[in-house]
Structure formats: C-alpha cells, structure tokens
Structure 1
Amino acid sequence: MKLIRVFFLALLLLASPFLLVARGHSDSDAEVSDSVEESSDLGIVGEDIQDYGDGSFSPAPGVDTVCLFPKNSAKVIAAGEESELLVGVKNDGDSSITVIAIKASVHLPFDHSLLVQNLTAQAFNNATVPASAQATFPYIFAVSKYLQPGTFDLVGTIIYEIDQNPYQSTFYNGTIEVVEAGGFLSVESVFLITLGIALLFLFGLWVHGQIQHLSKKTKRAPKVEIGTKTTDASMDEWLQGFHYFLSFAKVVSYSDKAFVGLGLCWLWKLMIERAYVTIKFSKNFQPV
C-alpha cells in the first residue's frame, strides 16, 4: 500500500505541469479535455461558493488524497510568512468531484482538542476532477507571526461534492516545525544560550573557590617546635596562651596596637626563657 501511495505521488508530480488545474486564468472560455476540466476562476474565492461552516463530513469512497510540501521537505514553517503545499486528488469513483475548498488548522501535538489556530480556507470555483482522473490543488497558508516557535500538528482537509453531496478528506495530519522569521536565532534560543553561559560562569566561580580553599589548607605552615620534642605541660600552656593572645590581638582596635605590641614582646621573652630552661633541663637529665 505504501508503494502504491509513493507511486501515485510521483505520478502527480510528473503530471502536474500538464493538469488543467490552475490558480488564475484570465480566459473566460473553458476547454474540456479528456481527463480534467479547466476553470478560469480556480483558486479564487467566489461569492456564490456554498458555505459549509465547521461541519464535519465523511470521506467519499474511491477518493484518495496525498500531500506534498514542494519547497519545504523538512516542513519548517516560518511564523508570519506564507508557505505552500500541494494536495493531490485521485478520483477512482464513477462520478465527478467538485472541489469546494481546502482548509487547515494548527493543534498542540499531544492533544488535538486544543486548537492553536484556524488557518485561512482557500475556496475554488468550478474545480472538478472527472472519474478515473487526478488533479493537484495548491494551498497557501501562513501561521500567526505571534505563534511561539515549537512543534505543532497541522491538520489539512479538502472539502468536495459528489452529486451535490458534501464530503471531506484529510490529506495531511502530521507535525510541522514553527520557527521565527527573519533571524537565525530565535528569542528562545538566545535565552537558553545566555542561561547556559551564566550557569557555566557560576560553575567556574565555584570550582575556583574550591581550588583556593584546598590550596590554603595545603599551604598552612607546620607547627614549629622550640627545643627538643620533650616538653612538659607548662610549655603547652604557654603555647596555648600565646595562640589565644594572637587571636585576641586580631579583634582589638587600632588605638590598642601599642599595648598589643608590648604584650607580644613580653610574651615572646617569657617563651624564650622557658624554652631555654627546658632545653637545659633535658640535657642534664639522665634516666636511672
């Protein structure tokens, strides 16, 4: 079945230049060929076109339709700009088909009950497809320029009459990609790129801070022992007192710097004397 549809589509493309279905002829005289009737008003909305409203009709048996985007195989639609598709109709029935109009609508892909936009319907005058014949009809449409870029579903329908009974067939029900017109990058793309750069910048700052934090830990000066490893409890108390005094000196005001300097000198003198006594005691001590 798929091969038949592909063959039918290829046949329509090859035969489209020779089909007597056109968008606007100035001739008022119509010529009848062996397969298709030519009209002077085809593709132009007529005042006497019957309005079927939003009614839904069933497809007629023996009528097959196909759709082709001739200049846009990727189905990328620029918002606010006209796009064209071709609708192929093959009539395998016993009666002629009178094509009334082609219409389409845009829906959200996950739920077709959510209508995004009704596209302009294109009506045809005196467009008929005789029995055992085929024809191609153009449909030009444009989505709203305010439509947000993204993926949507396009549903296209062709309305026709057979023996004055209305029918309709869906020639396309698939995905289209809507993009902003006139620019390589959309607003959404610029926002996402800017957000990504900002996140990378923040991540770089965090990594830099972590590296500095680790380098400070590794560069801490080791504890310097004065004298030999043999110390007593009193020496530890002096060291703790000196460390506490340094911590206290960090929070004092500038007016007390002289007092802090004298205190540091006095404490340093006591520690040197205590270290000298400890070293001398350790040299003279002989275990029993």
Structure 2
Amino acid sequence: MSIAYLNGAFLPLDQVRISPLDRGFLFADGIYEVAAVIDSGLIDSASHLARLQRSADALGIRLPLSLTEIEAVQKQLVARNALHEGLVYLQLTRGADATRDFLPSPDTAPTLFLFVQDKPFLNVPAVTTGIAVATMPDLRWKRRDIKSTGLLAQAMAKQAARDAGAQEAWLVEDGFVTEGASSTAFIVTDEGIITRPYSQAVLAGCTGDALTALAAESGLAVIRRPFTVAEALSAKEAFITSASTLCQSVVTIDGQTIGSGTPGPVAMRLRALYIAFARATAV
C-alpha cells in the first residue's frame, strides 16, 4: 500500500480519512495540482507550485504550508514510495465545517492531501502511434484559469471521447478550441506552433509553458492565438501537453487524419527537448 500525506501526517493511503463535511466533497471548494516524476525527480516543480499559489489566492484558500514545505512533502512521498516514474497528486480544499453551508466558517482549517501514482509515460505506445481526439462543446464554468477540483464537465467529455474511440477531448467554444479536457491543445501550420493565449478561458499549462519556451529557444515560431476546429483539421500536425503525457501527437480529430496520420517531426522534437529539460532541471 502506498504512503500518502494528510494534514501533517504520512500514512498508508487506505488509512486516509477525510470528513464527509469537507467542502471539497460537498462543494468542490478546492484546487489541485499534478506533478510528473521522472527518475525520482519532480518535474517543473516551481511552475506547479506557483500555479497552486495562484489558484489558492483566487479562491481565498490559505495554504497550510509554505511552497518550500509542500515541495519537501512531495519529495518525501516520492522517496517513501520509491517512485521512479509517475505522478504526485496534491489537493487543497477549504476544509470541513461543522455543518453544510454555502458560506464557510471563518475559522475553517484547510485540508491538504497528497498521494502518488506509479504511471509510465516516457515509453508508451501512444508516443509512436499518436492519439485520437474528439471535439465537443465546452460546458465548463468561466474561471478555467483556476485549477479547480470541479471536474464534472471534463469527466463527461472524457467519457464521450472514449465512446467515440478517442483518447482525449478538445473542448470548443464559439467555434474555437479552448483546450483539452486534461491537456493544452496545439497545432502546427505554416505560421508555426499555435496555441491559445492565456486568459480566464483556459488553464495556464505548466508543461505547455516549458515546452513553448524550449520551442522558442530552438528557433521555432510560437503564436498565441485562438484556432478553429477547421484549422486544426487542416494543420500539418497537432499535439497535446500535460504533466501526465508530456508532449503527445494527435493523429486524428473527429476521425479525420491530421497531416501524415503519424506523429509529426515538430511534436517529436519538442517531446525530446522537454524530456531532456525535465531530467536536467528535476528536483
């Protein structure tokens, strides 16, 4: 049984107990982060922790530990679980009140919960085959820049994508792709690498940020603008980024082949650059 962390204590995951009155359970009043682990090192840790702080500030949830202390907890979990490749999941909620009420008590103590997942993503079949994407309406709330635990719309989109034979959903609003259900969406055209600019309509992706910086350093043009489904269908390449996939090629969208129908050279180059960067900067 893996070791988890809850409010100051390390304990077996099956012994973790969180109150049924926790506002994360009752109201999805919480946020989360997922950090990749490669060779037992945390990837993009500073970026993930900075986003955690931004999300917490946006909701007015107090962090019970400093960012340095949270990173130390994550590293302890990696060590205690002998995690070589996988993910560290962190969830912060406003905490548990004595009764259910939309307005929390001013003295409510936040709940901080972390656990690890052993998950390979460096050498998986999708790297060489690419993945299929299905598009569907974006039904989420308007503050998508906050990494909220309220993921019902994303879960529904993932299920619909699976039913359509796809591995990811691209969410569409007013004809434009916002992002993936759990990833950042990119296309490659004659202009360069195109991805949506950050706003309250999308989540700022930590992996995507690092990858676009690497692309720019390598002389690849990165254009931040919205793109339509039609543009994506006619693109040379498409790909997604996330902590759990790194950089992964999209070879079909809604059943239509993208480019050659195989992982493209730009996405594969960026994936290699990102993995080298991740290993060099892991903590």
Instruction: State the TM-score, normalizing by the size of structure 1.
Output: 0.19
* Greater relative contact order, per chain length (Cα 8 Å cut-off, separation 6+): 2
Give TM-score, length-normalised by structure 2.
0.20
